[in-house]
Structure formats: structure tokens, C-alpha cells
Structure 1
Amino acid sequence: MEKMQQHFIRIRKLLDYTFFRVLFFLVLGLALYASMYSNVKPEKLDLSLFSVAEKTIRSPATIEDKKSTEIKRQEAVDQVQDVYTLKKEYTQNRVDLITSIFDTASEINDEESKSTKKENDVKTTHDEEPSVSEKVSKLKDNLTENVTKDLPDSVFTALVQADKDELSITKDLTVTAINNVMTKRISTNDVENAKKRVEEELKYSTLNDDLKSAAIELGRYAVVQNEFYDPVATEDLRKQAAEGVESVKILQGQIIVEEGELINQEIYRQLKLVGLLDNEKSYKPFLGLFILITIILLAVNYYFYQTKTQQEKRQTNLLLFGIIFVLSIFILKVISMLQIFNYSGIGYLFPAAMGGMLIKILIDEKLAILTSIIMAVCGSIVFNEGVTGTLNFSEGIYILFSSLAGILFLSSHNQRSKILQAGSITAGVNLITIWALMFLPNGQFSGLEYGYYFLTALVSGIASAVLTIGLLPLFEASFGILTTMKLIELSNPNHPLLRKILMEAPGTYHHSVMVANLSESACEAIGANGLLARVGSYYHDIGKTRRPNFFIENQMHLENPHDKLPPEKSANIIIAHVTDGANELKKYHMPKEIIDIAEQHHGTSLLKFFYHKALQNEEEPKEEDFRYPGPKAQTKESAVVGIADSVEAAVRSLTQPTPLLIESLVKKIVADRLQDGQLNECDLTLKELEAVTHTLCETLKGIFHSRIEYPEMTKKVKQA
């Protein structure tokens, strides 16, 4: 295991270089590409025109059939009738024309009548009254050439010969007949029929024959075509018809050809359209997979390099993530190979929650959620056998919900039994998710199928927990990772080193427990790892077990051996407990964080008691000889444990510890450490240091609170 850990350390150090980080992501990308390559590779179909399909072929995607759409639109356009517009103004124009003819004839008749009357009044002789032909000529002169050319002279003769009343009646009848006919549509082919309708309407009038004939001729002349083809309106109507036609689409999963059916030209065209012919040359699926993997890797890279963590820890987490992720993908791919047995829902066996729970315990919950999303996407591609299209959305949803359930229900992972509990709850979530996916399409399932899905959900959840429990110690040992569960295990009083402290140095054991209580509450007050501080406190003085009697808490009112030793020798013995403790912890392969607390809890502080004692014996003793070797505290937890260690020992030495005296002593010890530079190398702020001081004071006041003196006990003491 140590060799494996050394190998991982070497690989982790390589990740400090940009080249190897890029290489790491390339390897990760290749693993993803290799696992999903076969699932996106287009299916090879050996089909030819007019051959018989050996199996039912469905469309792999939804695609528009442009040719069929165009044919359908053309059919809709062809069904549109030409648009003809009724020109209503034509009716008025023709009525006005006929009216003007009648009015002109009436004016000519009136002029002649007035002229005759005037000549009679003055009793003068006059020439003969103008002849009919002269009147006709005069009428024609007042009309247009087209009118005189199209109408026969008999019409004009009848008009000039009629009296005023007859002419008025004839005009009214003619105009009415024209209006009645021309208010209706008259196409090119219907003009003659319309003329006949006018003729029929006037034929039964009470006019004399000459005027009736004239009226009929004028009516027929007035009736013209009033309905004309409108190209603009017709084109607009055709466009609307074309736009109203929905696109013809070949839907994903739609059967293009059934087994045993002849592949005719239309079917062959559709097969080609959806990309099932000559698909070996298609590069789009592989390009899509490449883009998808690139997005995944960029998301992972962004997560790791935007988090504010130490570089060493970041590289360790990156390597750990890579191993867990590749392992999950490997299990995913192996299970997907079982699809050859055509078992429905075989993908539900995948222990989806395993990767998420491992990453949450060993690294971070946010990264675990990101991993769940990535695994859901990959799973929907890997388990696409037997579904139309590239993505199996049901499998993706199942993996996502299962993994998130494992992460969320592992909120309190203080014991390994919590993992099994989370796995059991995940199995229940798996079952509910499967039922939801079964019921959504309103499918019909047998009791055997329900039992099968229940079994797969149970196996997936429990397998996730079992694999997590089994792999967790391997990752912890290989990477030297200290998890909450590991800390809980190390805090067990039956641990060999804790039993050693209890048996060989009981005073130190009691002191360590007191320091653990103090440091845990102080760390929690500033948001540090209180459990790490507690467990580190248990082991921080393990080095005292080598010479327990040289430490005052273990002397039990015995003679102090330091009284017979020179201060330099005593200082060496006291200082040695730090290095002895670190060596003892390394011998038991304790986590690095625990060893660091043991090495750093005194930092490079000065043994003031023996230094001042040496000052009394010598003129100028070397201060370096009375300082701990360090290093100084590198983390908040180490700094807090060191302060709590000094505070507990100092307060315990007080004969009458009052709240005011405790607070004064704590503040003095913290100030001394700060002035001595013992807190310079950790990221403990002054605000946090103030919170630590306050918490230590409150905790110590609770421990060393005043107690009343019981009367019976006092009486017995006096009698004794």
C-alpha cells in the first residue's frame, strides 16, 4: 500500500506541470470517447434499390422531407382557383354613358321645340322644321365616335323622334335594366348572356316598337364584362395556401420500411434522406461526441481551477476524481455490454450513486453533483441500444436521480453504516424513478416485469453502497486522505495508541481530552474542522508516553525528576516529545494531518521555565536550545490545538481559577503566541483569533466553574 501511495504521489507531482495536466485531460477524454464511440457510430445497412428489407428499419432522427413537402405545397397551390375581381365602377360608367345619350337626344329635341315656338310668337315665317336626318346628324355630332360607330342609326332616329315623356320613360327603363344586369358578375364568356338578359327585361316593356328596339340596342351596347382576373390577389392566395401546408417530416422512430417489404424508389430516397445509406462516410456523430466530451472536460477543468485550494490538494483531488470517474465509466460500459441479451432496462443495474458518494466523501459535494450530471449524459449515450436516436433519456434521468439521491442522503457520513443507509434509500428512489418512467408512456407491464425492475433498483442502490464502502479504504490509504469517517474511527478509545496513552500516561490522556474539547469548540466557532482538531488533540502528546514521568500531569505528586537535571537536559526531554510523537504516529501510518498537528502544536515556542532556570545558572544560555524545532502551525486546526494545549495546562495550574483570572490568562497566552510569531504561517485572522479566545474562555469557565461546599462533606473533613 505504501508503494501504491508513493506512485500516486509521483503522479500527483507531475500534475504540477501544464504538459502533464493537459495529458491527464487527454487521457480522460480518450477514455470517454472510447466508451461511447460504438454507441454513436452509425449503423451499417447493406441495402439496395428493389431489394427486400431483412428487418424493420426506423428513422434514427427527425428530419424534414423537403421533396414531399414541396409536392404537398404544389398540390395546395394547384387547388387554388384564380381570383376575379368585380369592377363595380363599370356599372356606373355604362349607366352614365347611356344616360348621357338620352340626355343629349332630349336636349336636341328641346332646342328645336323652343326655336319653333319663338318664331311663332313673333309671327314670322320660318323655314321648314329640321328633318329627322338633321336631328340624327346633330345628335351624332354631340356623341363620341365610338358610340356612333357601334350603335345603328335606327337608335338615334327613334330617340330624336320621341317626345320628352317617352324619352324619359325609355331612359328609366333602359338604365334600370342595365343596373339589374351589371350588378352581377359578368365574365368574358358571360357577356352575351348578360346582353340577352337586358334584352329580355326590356322586350316586355310598353314602349312603342321603335323606342323598344332602341332601348334594347342601348342596353345590349351598355352591358360589358365587369369581372377581371386579379393576378396579385391570386398570387397572395397561392402563397397563403403554400404557407398553410405543414412540413412533411420523417419522425424519429418512424418506420421507414418493414421487414419483408420491397425497397422501392420512394423508400430508398427516405433511407438516404435520414442518413442510413452511405453512413460510413458520415463524420457528424463523431464530431458531436468530440464537442460533448470537450464541454465535459472544460467544465471539470473550470471547477478545479476556480476553487481556492492549495495546489497540492487540488492536484490530489484531480487525480482522485479521474480515477473514480474512469472507474464509473468502465462499470457503465461493462453493464452496457449486457444489452446483447435484449433484457429491457438492463442499464438500471448500474450503481449510479457510487461515483457521487465517493467523490462527496473524498473531495466535495459540488463536484459530486457535477459528476452525477456528466454520468447521466454518458449513460444516456452508452445505453442507447434498442432506442431510436442517440440518447436514451430514460436511462439518463434514472442515473441522475439515483446519483443525486446517494449524494443528498449521505449528508451525515460520520460512520460507514451511513453509507449503507444512503444506499438503501437510493434503492427506494431508484424504484420510484423507474415506476415514473414506466407509467409516463402509459405502457402495459406484467407482474414479472415489475418484479424485475424492483430487483434492478434494489441491486443498483445496494451495490452503490457496497462498492463505496469497499473502495473507500483503498482510496484513503492510497492517497492519504483523511475523511470524516476515518477521523471517527481514530477517535475510538480502543485505538492502540489511545489505549497506550491511557495506560502509560493517564494524566496526558486526561489533558488530551480536555484539549480536544477546547480545540473542537474553538474550531467550530471559526468554521474550521472541529473534528480534525479533536482527533488531533487526542494524539498530539503521544510522544510523552516514551518518558511519561517527566511531564507534570503524570507525576501524581511524585518527585519531579527535573529537579535533579540541568535545564538543558530537561528542555531536551520536553522538546523530544514532539519528534517522538511524530515518529510514533508515522510508525502507525497515521494520517498526515494528525502528524502535522503533533509536530506543529508547539511551533518554535520557547520553554520559558527551563530557559529562565538556565539564566539563573549560566550567564548567556542559547535561546535556540530551549525552543521547539517546529515547524510553526500551518493550518487553523494546528494553531488552535497549540493555543488550547497551552491554555489548558496553564489554567489547570491555577489553584483558584476565577472567570476573570481565566480570561486574563487566555488572552495573555494568545498575545504571547501572536507576538512570538507562532501564528505567522497559518491563515488565522485577527477576527478569528478573537473568536477563538472568546470560545476558549467560555468553555474553560464552564469546566472550572465554582462549586458549593456541601455541609456533610465539611463536617466529615473536620472530624477527620
Structure 2
Amino acid sequence: MNNLINKLYRNHALIYKGLLFVCTTFLIVYLFPKSGKFRYNFERGKPWQSENLYAPFDFAIKKSEEEIDSEKKNITENASLFFNVDNTIRTKVNNLYPNAFTKAFSETVPKPLLDTLFSAGKEIISDLYTFGVLSESYNFSGDRAVTLLDERVEKQNTLFVNLVGQNEITEIIDKILIKYDLSQYKTTFVSLFFDLIEPNLTFDKSFTDKVLQEELDKIAYARGSIERETLIVSKGEVVEGDKFQILKSLQSEYESQIWTKSNYYWVLFAYTLLVALALLMLLLFLRKYRTKVFENNTKVTFIFFNIFLMVFITTLVVNYNSKYIYVVPICILPLVFKAFFDARLGLFSHVITVLLLGSIVPNSYEYMFLQITAGIVTILTVSELYKRANLFISVGQITLIYIVAYFAFFVIHEGSVETIKWETFVWFILCGLATLFVQPLIYAYEKLFGLVSDVSLLELSDTNSKLLKELSNKAPGTFHHSLNVANLAEASANEIGANAMLVRVGALYHDIGKMKNPTYFTENQSTGINPHDELSSKESARIIIDHVIDGIEIARKNKLPDRVIDFIRTHHGTSVVYYFYMKEKEDFDEVESSDFSYPGPRPFSKETAILMMCDSIEAASKSLKEPTSTKIDAFVENIINKQIEDGQFLNANITFKEIQSIKKVLKHKLANIYHLRIEYPE
């Protein structure tokens, strides 16, 4: 049992990666659309590229969206409107009319005229309530059919134009009075009916909507059917009109049948295999080419999390409305990975993610071509992400690539630009703007996952930071030395294409451990007193060696990133404190070199190797007397060649050619420092 526990403990990192791999695979498969994939690709107006296609089963020909929308529009525009009638209102108005009429007209009016006026008023009431008076204004077409309901029972059918609105009462009064030649009494009648007439029609919206929905539900979504073994399309035949709609119907039927029948689990298993294969390729890439990343579970988690996040966001957008698919800023992925790792890992992860998204999005080939191209442009154009102008320029280039590629695809598909959807270009612009969100996203990731980007390195390179100010106050000579090393290291890194910002920051902080005992280091001994004179060689060597351990402790206390602490750990590698070692050998015959050796480790990257070279060269250059170009060349060659002989660069991925380039830079820089002229041959 103990052996099993010990074995699990020793392999806990691999077990974690396995669990992460399985969880990410199932989460992505869960997000995938619940349908199979039609095996044929076809486009409207293009020839059928595959063999003759016969119907594999009976299926209905589905109507196109345009046909269904047209039917819905026709039903909606011609659907009957339902109004409730209050019959008591008309009776009430007729009962109140005689008294109101008597009050409105004086007794001096001759009786024959009075009878005519009374009859005109009765006719006005009759005309107003023939169909009814509306309670409010409605913006319906006059030829819309109207059904009048009395207690929800159909009473009468008419057109909306026959219903009287509030603003039409005066017109009816005027019309009747003209008929009776009584226009001079218009003001009196208007005043009379202003208080008398009450609306008796109210629009029954809920019932109208219910009836409309019932009519819409009766729409047939299919027109005709295709029997099994019927020839659908021949090879080379242009796919258009009914052919296109039949193929779309077959595709829809095929996908729905595949996912709902007994082979559901087979399709699910197939999706799982594809996703697992893609993620496995990523893990194998990390293991073979990015070992340090692979061994760090936090970084592997970070990579898998970002891939899943992009799949999740894209799925949400596709489920909402697939026309917004290009608003999703997929290019944030290579940007983030390049900021924290490198361009090759960023591009590889981006391609894997786009391949996964190909199973989710419509027009998968077009989508993958655009996104992979945009990802390549992102990797090629975005450099020095901490410079804001670079990010804006790169985002502009990415957006332009999207627009150009989409335009080319559209022209290939449609054969013209007349029907191009210009709104898609707006989605690309929005995608570009969303990509600018990468800056705050990188900051958030740094805090969540403890990673370091060039933006953070730029902040750390500020010599006004608390730790570097403390170094300049406590150990001014060491601070000046660190600045010189930083300049040499940055120039060397630029020469061989290494991370110049990282190596500069590492150089600035590599000797912060000397703050603990600053006077024990020659660059800080301004009084001429050397405390080592009172110590043994072993004690002196121990103090010198301990500045590495002290530097690591100070760095951790000040929460410096591990990438920077690596420079503190490796800048002396496993080299020997040569001066005190030789001094000890003068006094004793047998001396253990391990007592005078730095704990290491040796440099394990180009950047840490560069720092070791530059640190040694800068420190030793102070001992040069009457330097010449020849002396400087020999000086640089001797120091770096000795480091190579000691095997200090065996773990660093740096080549002899790159070391030669670094030597050339250091010789040139030292010549400039000592203001030497080039020695021309006589």
C-alpha cells in the first residue's frame, strides 16, 4: 500500500495532467452541437463535386426560410382583428339623446325644423354605432378584416375602415347635417354629442394574438417528399433552386436522425476521440519542445483553460446568433500565449483551438481559413506587446486580413459583390476592438496564475522601483554594476533574438543579495578597507557565495516572479570563487573545491546564459589596465571560453554561433566604454 502511495506521489504531476486532459475533453464535447455532420459539402450555385447522390431514406422537402417568412408575413398582415362590443352603450346614448337635444335647442325653433334636427341627430347616432366607436386610436390598415365580439361570441364581420375613431365623429356629424341642409347647426350638434357619445369598441389584443398564433401554427414547413433511392443530384450538376433546398432538407434530416437514433453514443464517442486527439497533440508538443512549460502544472492549466474559454464563448455566440461569430476575438489566444510563453507555442495552440471550433461554427472551412490566417498575422506582427502603439498597429493589420479574406471568399461563392453583407465588416472591426482587451486580460492572468509577461517586466525594469532604490542606497557600486550588465545583456539578447526585456530585468536584480553585506564586495568598498582581510578564505568565499541565496530570499520577500529569480539562481552557475579558492590552495595542500563553488544551477536558457557572460565580463573588465582592442578581444575570449570549458552552458539552448555573436557585441561595447579607436592595419 505504501509503495502505491509513494508511486502516486512521485507521479502526481502526470496524474494531474491526465485529469486535466480528461476534464477539458469532456467539457468541450459537452459544448459541441448535439447533431451529427452531413458528409457532403455543397454551396448554392456551385457544381456538385461528389458522386451521384441518391436519397438514403424517405424525407420531406423543407420549405426555405424565405418561403416560411413570406407565409408568416401574409398571415400576419391579413389576420382578423377582434374587438369587443358593449351594446349597452348604444341603448344608453339613445335614451339620453331626447333630454340632451331639448337642452341644446331652444323652444323658439319652429316645430317642423325641430323635428328635422331631432331626426338628423338620431341618424348621426345610428351611423356612429352601425359598427361602433373605438375607445382609442389604432394604426391598422383600413382593409384589415375585423370581427366584432359580443361576450366572446362572433357578432359581425367588417373592415377596420368602417369603425369610427374619435377624430372621425365630427366628420360624420358634418356629413349628415349637409344631407339635411343643416350645416349652420354644426357647432350645436358637435357640442351636444361631445358629452353624449361614448366609445363601445375595445381591441381584444390577447384573443387576436391567440387566433393569429393558431393560424401561424398551421403553417406546413414541408412541401412534398422524396422517396428512398430517388436521384437527388448528379456529379457536376449545379446546385441551385429546388436542388439546393432538397439537399438542405436531406442535410437537416440526416443530422437530426443521426443524433436521435441508437448510434447517439457512437457519435458522442467519435467527437470525444477528435477532441482528445487535438488536445493530446498539444500535450505532446509541450512535452517535446516546451519541457519547462510541460513540467509546470499551473502553465498547462492556463493553456487548457484559455482553449476551453474560447470554445465556450464561441459556442454561446453560435447558439445566440451565428452571424455574430466573427465578433469573438479568437486572436486574443495567440497574443496571450505569446506574451507569457513564445510565438511557436502561441500559434500551435491557436491552430488546435480553431480546429476544435470547426465542429461548432457554420461554414467551417471559411472560418478556419480566416482564423488561422489571422493567427499567423498576429504572431508575425505583434512584437513588444508592452508598447501600446504596436498593439494598435497589429490589431489594425489583423482586422484588415479578416476583411480581405472574407471579401475574397464572398466573391468566390457569389461571383459578384452586389449582394455582399457589409455589416459583416462591422463585426470584424468590433472583433479588432475586442482584441485590444488583451492588455487588461494579461494583467488579470498574471494575478490569477502567477505568470509574467513583458508588460510586468517593463514595470520591473523601472529603476525607481522600491527594491532597486534600496539597492542603489545600500550598495551603490552593485547598482551601477547591475545597470552596466543590463545594458550589455540587452544588446547581446537583441543580437541573437532572445528576450531582451527579460534579460535586462534579470540583470537589474541579479545581485540584490549583495544588499545584506554590501561592503564585502569590492565595488562597494569606497573607504579602502577590505573586511575580507580579517576573514579566512572559506569564510570570505561563503559570504560571496551566500549573496545568491540572500538574493533569492529578498526576491521572494518582494514577490519577484520566478522568471526573474531564475537569473539570481543561475548567474554564477556552479563556478568557483576563484580568488579565494587559489588563496586557500596557497595555505593548504588539499582543498575541497565544493567549499568554494556556487550552488547553481547552471544557466538553462539563452537569457540566463547571456547574463552569466555579461556579468563576468563587466565585473572583470574593471581590472583591465591600459586596454586596447587586442587586449579586450583576448579578455572576452578567455572568460567566455573558460565558462564553456567548465560546462556552464550545457543546459542552455544556446549555440556556438550565438555565443560568437555575443562575444562580438561585448567586444564592441567594451571598446566603446574605454573609448578605443579601431586599430587599422598599417
TM-score relative to the length of structure 1: 0.57
Q: Does 1:418 align with 2:390?
A: yes
Pair 1:352 & 2:325 matched? no
Q: Where do 1:33-432 residues align within 5 Å?
A: 33-38=29-34, 40=36, 54-57=219-222, 66-67=229-230, 254-255=244-245, 275=254, 281-282=260-261, 291=270, 294-295=273-274, 297-302=276-281, 304-306=283-285, 308-309=288-289, 311-316=291-296, 318-339=300-321, 345-376=323-354, 378-379=356-357, 381-384=359-362, 391=363, 395-396=367-368, 399-400=371-372, 402-415=374-387, 418-432=390-404
Residue pair 2:395, 2:435 contacting (<8 A) in 1 also: yes
- CA apart distance, 1:674: 4.3
C-alpha distance in 2, partners of 1:550/1:277?
A: 79
- Does the 8 Å contact 1:487/1:532 carry over to 2? yes
Give the equivalent residue in structure 1 for 2:436: 465
Q: Write the distance in 2 (CA, Å) between the matches of 1:59 and 1:421.
A: 55
Contact 1:69 1:246 in 2 (8 A): no
The answer to whether structure 1 residue 504 and structure 2 residue 474 are counterparts is: yes
TM superposition shift of 1:664 = 2.8
The C-alpha deviation readout for 1:529-565, integer Å capped at 9, x for no partner, is: 4443332111111112223233222233543333444
Shifted more, 563-572 versus 457-466: the winner is 563-572
Label 1:55 to 1:319 Cα distance change in 2 as closer, same or farther (>3 A): farther
Aligned mates of 1:414, 1:252 — CA distance in 2: 56
Measured against aligned partners, the alpha-carbon deviations of 1:177-208 in whole angstroms (never above 9, x if no partner) come to xxxxxxxxxxxxxxxxxxxxxxxxxxxxxxxx
Indicate if the aligned counterparts of 1:380 and 1:394 stay in contact, CA closer than 8 A: no
Cα deviation code 1:374-399 (max 9, x no counterpart): 55455455344xxxxxx466655554
Query: Comparing 507-516 with 495-504, which one deviates more in the overlay?
Result: 495-504
- Residue 32 of structure 1: which of 19, 28, 39 is its match? 28
Q: Give ranges in structure 1 of 5+ residues lacking alignment.
A: 1-10, 71-243, 259-269, 385-390, 709-720
Q: Aligned pair 1:541/2:537, yes or no?
A: no
Distance change >3 Å, CA 614–CA 318, structure 1 → 2: closer
C-alpha displacement of 1:355: 1.9
Structure 1 counterpart of 2:184: none
Q: Partner of 2:626 in structure 1? A: 656
In the other structure, the counterpart of 1:644 is 614
Letter in 2 for 1:329: V
When residues 505 and 252 of structure 1 are mapped into structure 2, their CA distance, relative to the original with a 3 A threshold, is farther
Q: Structure 1 residues 13 and 311, CA, compared in 2 at 3 Å: closer, same or farther?
A: farther
Report the count of equivalent residues.
494
- Residue-by-residue CA offset, 1:196-235 (whole Å, 9 max, x unaligned): xxxxxxxxxxxxxxxxxxxxxxxxxxxxxxxxxxxxxxxx
* Paired letter, 1:426: I
| Gap change, CA 1:397 and 1:334, over 3 Å in 2 | same
Contact 2:36 2:267 (C-alpha < 8 Å) held by counterparts: no
Partner SS, residue 637 of structure 1: helix
Out of 582, 587, 601, the residue aligned to residue 552 of structure 2 is: 582
Q: How far apart are residue 408 of structure 1 and its match?
A: 3.9
Indicate the residue corresponding to 1:599 in structure 2.
Answer: 569
Displacement of 1:325: 0.5
Equivalent residue of 2:627, what SS?
coil
Alignment partners' CA distance in 1, 2:224 and 2:276: 31
Question: Displacement, 1:472?
Answer: 1.7
In the aligned structure 1, how far is the partner of 2:313 from the partner of 2:457?
30
Counterpart code for 2:284: Y
> How much has 1:414 moved relative to structure 2?
4.4
Aligned partner letter, 2:301: L
Q: Which amino acid aligns with 1:382?
A: I
Q: Could you tell me how far 1:585 is from its partner in structure 2?
A: 1.3
SS in 2 for 1:325: helix
> Alignment identity in percent?
27
- After superposing the two structures, state which structure 1 stretch, 325-334 or 534-543, moved more: 534-543
Q: What's the offset of the Cα at 1:400?
A: 4.5
Q: Distance in 2 between matches of 1:14 and 1:610?
A: 43
Deviations 1:22-45 (A, max 9, x none): 544333332232222335499xxx
Q: Measured at CA, do residues 64 and 587 of structure 1 come closer, stay the same or move farther in structure 2, by a change above 3 Å? A: farther
Q: What residue in structure 1 maps to residue 155 of structure 2?
A: none
Correspondence for 1:456 among 427, 437, 440:
427
Q: Which amino acid aligns with 1:30?
A: F
Q: Is the 8 A contact 1:56 1:257 kept in 2?
A: no
Aligned mates of 2:264, 2:369 — CA distance in 1: 22
Residue type of the partner of 2:324? I
CA distance, structure 1, for counterparts of residue 584 and residue 516 of structure 2? 24
Secondary structure of 1:494 counterpart: coil
Amino acid in the other structure paired with 2:508: Y
Alpha-carbon distance change, 359 to 618 in structure 1, aligned in 2, over 3 angstroms: closer
Q: CA deviation at 1:671?
A: 4.3
1:78-102 CA-to-partner distances (Å, cap 9, x unmatched) read xxxxxxxxxxxxxxxxxxxxxxxxx
Q: For residues 639 and 64 of structure 1, do their structure 2 counterparts lie closer, same or farther at Cα, with a shift above 3 Å needed?
A: farther
Distance 1:623 1:290, change over 3 A: closer
Which structure's CA Rg is the greater one?
1
Contact conserved, 1:40 with 1:381, CA < 8 A, in 2? Answer: no
Superposition pairs of residues 595-634 of structure 1, within 5 angstroms: 595-614=565-584, 623-634=593-604
Counterpart for residue 665 of structure 1: 635
Q: 1:475 aligned to 2:445?
A: yes
How far 1:245 sits from its partner (Å)? 11
What's the secondary structure of 2:604's corresponding residue? coil
Go from structure 1 to structure 2 and tell me whether the alpha carbon gap of 1:576 and 1:641 turns closer, same or farther (over 3 Å shift). Answer: same
Q: 1:37–1:286: 8 Å Cα contact kept in structure 2?
A: no
Amino acid at match of 1:294: L
d(CA) in 2 for partners of 1:619, 1:665 = 30
Does the C-alpha gap of structure 1 residues 654 and 285 become closer, same or farther in structure 2, counting only changes over 3 Å?
same
Could you say what secondary structure the match of 2:230 adopts?
A: helix
Distance 2:309 2:525 in 1: 55
Partners in 2 of 1:319 and 1:432 — Cα distance?
A: 35
Aligned pairs for 1:551-590 (under 5 A) are 551-556=521-526, 558-590=528-560
**Contact 1:427-1:458 within 8 A present in 2 as well:** yes
CA distance in 2, matches of 1:280, 1:673: 65
- The secondary structure found in structure 2 opposite 1:382 is coil
CA 347–519 in structure 1, closer or farther in 2 if over 3 Å, else same: closer
Q: Hey, what's the Cα distance between the residues in 1 that align with 2:483 and 2:521?
A: 16
Q: Map Cα deviations across residues 578-613 of structure 1 (whole Å, 9 max, x no partner).
A: 111111111222222321221222233333333444
Letter in 2 for 1:413: L
